[in-house]
Amino acid sequence: MTSRAWTRIKAWAPRRIKSRMRQVRALLVRPSGGDDPMQLARRALVSSHSQLSGFDLVLVPRQPQRPEETLTSSFYERQHHDIHYRRNNWLLDQLPVLKAISPRTVVEVGSGNGRFIRAVAPYVEHVIGIDWARSPELVDLPHNVDILQSDVVTAPIPSADLICSADVLEHLAPRVVDPVIAKLVAAGPYQHHVIACYDDGHSHLSILPPAAWLSLFLKHCPTAYLADVHYRRQDPMQIVCIVSNLPRS
């Protein structure tokens, strides 16, 4: 942040925003020493977005230039045959965090290729994977895994101890994001959601900053917080956040 930009912010920003901006600026201009610049930027992102989410935000998602009508179950059925869709699962690296709360039942919304539900199955009594398109990878599943092919916008979400998702909510149209989050929170006491905050160029419809996603969850889940904000593929244009209400370690 340049000195001129900082001067402009100080001229108009409310006192509580100035205080948080000073902390973020201190993180960014601090001599790095042995710190990884990417880690420094991540700490600044978490600090700023965690606090800014406490303000009254006008939640206006950036509108990508693509009609939501084209993103049907058939579209995602085709995507599941793509090699990257068959390999990627952005919830898999969250397994240690989710196991720590010892849930008996888990619902993964947007279960995709099923890699997460396979991985978590040995540690819980029952897992339900929800997706509106069935992946060809979903064969020979563990005995305690069920797959529910449905649209979470219109269909009910089964109850469970833990409701989780990865790279799902940004695929929803802006008009349905809030009611779907309300349904997620109503379905279970623990919530953990990985959300991409950037335009992927073909299927992300609701593109919001981490603070806005947290604000949406706080409307329905007062214990929600930003568990992490990071850059995917080390690309600063690909910001990802994790909204959770799991007990902090």
Most confident of 39-43, 139-143, 202-206: 139-143
Q: Which is more confidently placed, 18 or 9? A: 18
Provide the residue count of the chain.
Answer: 249
Pairing label, strands 225-231, 126-131: unpaired
CATH topology of domain 68-244: Rossmann fold (3.40.50)
- List, by residue range, all CATH 3.40.50.150 domains of the chain: 68-244
Q: Which of the four pLDDT bands, split at 50, 70 and 90, describes residue 30?
A: low
Cα separations (Å) of 119 from 61, 189, 231? 33, 21, 24
Residue 207 pLDDT greater than 90, yes or no = no
Mean pLDDT of 111-122: 93
Mean pLDDT of 165-189: 94
Amino acid making up residue 232: R
71-80, 209-218, 227-236: range with lowest mean pLDDT:
71-80
DSSP 3-state of 172: coil
Residue 249 pLDDT greater than 80, yes or no = no
105-109, strands of its sheet edge to edge? 145-149, 126-131, 105-109, 162-166, 190-196, 239-244, 225-231
Write down the pLDDT at residue 61. Answer: 47
Whole-number average pLDDT of the chain: 79
Cα atoms in the 13 Å half-sphere on the side-chain side of 209: 14
Cα dihedral across residues 120, 234, 110, 49: positive or negative: positive
Write down the pLDDT at residue 221. Answer: 96
Write down the pLDDT at residue 201. Answer: 78
Residue 155 pLDDT greater than 80, yes or no = yes
Residue 35 pLDDT greater than 90, yes or no = no
Write down the pLDDT at residue 54. Answer: 46
- Which has the closest alpha carbon to 172: 160, 147, 154? 154
Whole-angstrom Cα distance, residue 187 to residue 171? Answer: 20
Residue 232 pLDDT greater than 90, yes or no = no
Write down the pLDDT at residue 17. Answer: 55
Residue 79 pLDDT greater than 70, yes or no = no
| Total Cβ atoms within 10 A of residue 26 | 11
Residue 117 pLDDT greater than 90, yes or no = yes
Write down the pLDDT at residue 99. Answer: 96
Q: Are 53 and 224 in contact (CB under 8 A)?
A: no
- Would you state the torsion angle of the CA atoms of residues 215, 217, 219, 224, taken in this order, to the nearest 10 degrees? -90
Cα dihedral across residues 171, 175, 181, 184: positive or negative: negative
Q: What percentage of the chain has pLDDT greater than the value 70?
A: 65
Q: Which of the four pLDDT bands, split at 50, 70 and 90, describes residue 60?
A: very low
Write down the pLDDT at residue 16. Answer: 57
